[in-house]
Amino acid sequence: MTYFRKLIVLILFVCPVVSLKAQNHCEQQTTLSLQKLTLLLQKNEVSSIMSTLQTMESSCGENEFTLRTKLIYQIINRETTDAVYNKYIKQRFDDELISRWDNSAEADYQNIYTRNKQKFNYVPLRHATDSLMKIKAKALLNSASYSSINDEEIAILYLFAGDSEAYLDIIAERKDDEPSDVEPNVYDWHQPKHTFGIYAGLFSPLGTNNFFSKSFTAGLSIMTPLTKDFVGELQYKFRIHPGAQPFDFNYKEEIREVQSSTSHVLSVGLGYKLVDTKKNTILPKVNLGLGFIWTGLSEVEYGEDDEGNETETTRFRNVNTLHSTFGLTFMRHLRNKTYIGLESNLHIIPYQWDSNLHSPIPSQYASFEFFVRF
């Protein structure tokens, strides 16, 4: 045990130190590279610029600044920009640059940078390299010899030139011009397949209940595709209540005191997608099914088949009842058919529906459950 404690202490000590050293090395390398780039950008020494960017990335990895510089020089040199452009957009560096321009416009931009240097890739706000690349982007936009550059390059050059509004306007126009049959909708992020769910949570009576207290609940379900507004569900749930109090139950024409440890329900449900975004879904739903309290009691019934042979059938004697549920489901879409979520439910279970029950078990309950769908 002492060995493991020492190992944990060592890990907790070493990891922050290593991380801090890597961070300091990145900042130092970026500072040195920016000093070189200021002069190199003025002279347009492309090979030296690319070499310096490579040095920066070896210490800090690719970031918004290095990809922005590469993109500008790919456009200047009339090279294909697809790979770098897609990488820039996929990592949402356009949003990062918009934020950078907004922060640079603030009066206390120096304090903003000092408080979170890492956020800005250790490139100070209003740095000379920003100004030089803005000049180059504006020159490209105004140059007749670059009139053949594509719409994506025009849009990104406006952003590099510091005109965030023009960039966003062009992007919005391009989305509006897309054919209606490829417009994004819920069918693009939900899979047209059934999903299976695994549930676990807490089941609790509402108000005074002399028979059941808080208990563990779990279950399984199959749900129709979430591509439709109305969603169907087949569900099995059980709960475990080993501390439940005994109740009176009619068995073989006599009243017995029974103590149960589990209850079960099989139900069908219907839900409606009240809210459905690319990541989050809110689904009110109603379930109705047959539930029972397991008593462990059974009877053997004797009879005859069509050929006159004696038969015997075992009949379980449980507390059977109707089980209705009114719930609200919150789901977060992870990928493909995989979701996680929370579900809160109100349960109405009229146990007096079974005439063999002779104890006044309350009928109102609530549950709160976590689930995974796949």
Q: pLDDT at position 189, please?
A: 58
Band the pLDDT of 190: cuts 50, 70, 90: low
Residue type, position 278, single letter: K
Where is mean pLDDT largest: 106-110, 168-172, 176-180, 184-188?
106-110
pLDDT digits (tens, 9 = 90+) for 246-298: 999 999 989 999 999 999 999 999 999 999 887 899 999 999 999 999 999 99
- Whether 177 shows a pLDDT value over 80: the answer reads no
Architecture, CATH, for domain 187-373? Beta Barrel (2.40)
- Whether 312 shows a pLDDT value over 90: the answer reads no
DSSP string, 79-123: ---HHHHHHHHHTTHHHHHHHHHHHHTSTTHHHHHHHTTGGGTT-
CB 39: neighbour CB atoms within 10 A?
A: 11
Joined together, the tokens standing for residue 322 give 């109707």
146 contact partners, CB below 8 Å, separation of at least 6: 75, 140
Q: Measured between alpha carbons, how far is 255 from 273 in angstroms, rounded to an integer?
A: 47
Contact present, 361 and 351 (Cβ < 8 Å): yes
Q: How many residues does the chain have?
A: 374
Helix (H) or strand (E) holding 64: helix 64-76
Alpha-helical regions (H) of the chain: 2-43, 46-60, 64-76, 82-90, 93-104, 109-115, 128-142, 151-160, 164-176, 186-189
Residue scoring higher pLDDT (218 or 337)? 218
pLDDT digits (tens, 9 = 90+) for 109-120: 999 999 999 999
Q: Which of 93, 51, 105 is nearest to 73 (CA)?
A: 51
- Helices 151-160, 82-90: inter-axial angle, 10-degree rounding: 60
Provide the pairing of β-strand 310-335 with 280-304.
antiparallel
Q: Measured between alpha carbons, how far is 318 from 249 in angstroms, rounded to an integer?
A: 9
Helix (H) or strand (E) holding 230: strand 230-240
Q: pLDDT at position 7, please?
A: 36
User: What are the extents of the domains in the chain?
Assistant: 12-181, 187-373
Provide the pairing of β-strand 230-240 with 247-251.
unpaired
Q: Which of 234, 237, 236 is nearest to 222 (CA)?
A: 234
Q: pLDDT at position 361, please?
A: 96
Q: Measured between alpha carbons, how far is 91 from 86 in angstroms, rounded to an integer?
A: 8
Residue scoring higher pLDDT (173 or 3)? 173
Q: pLDDT at position 296, please?
A: 93
Contact present, 302 and 312 (Cβ < 8 Å): yes
Joined together, the tokens standing for residue 13 give 């000590």
Q: pLDDT at position 18, please?
A: 36
Contact present, 289 and 250 (Cβ < 8 Å): no
Helix (H) or strand (E) holding 298: strand 280-304
Contact present, 148 and 76 (Cβ < 8 Å): no
| Average pLDDT of the chain, as a whole number | 88
Q: pLDDT at position 19, please?
A: 40
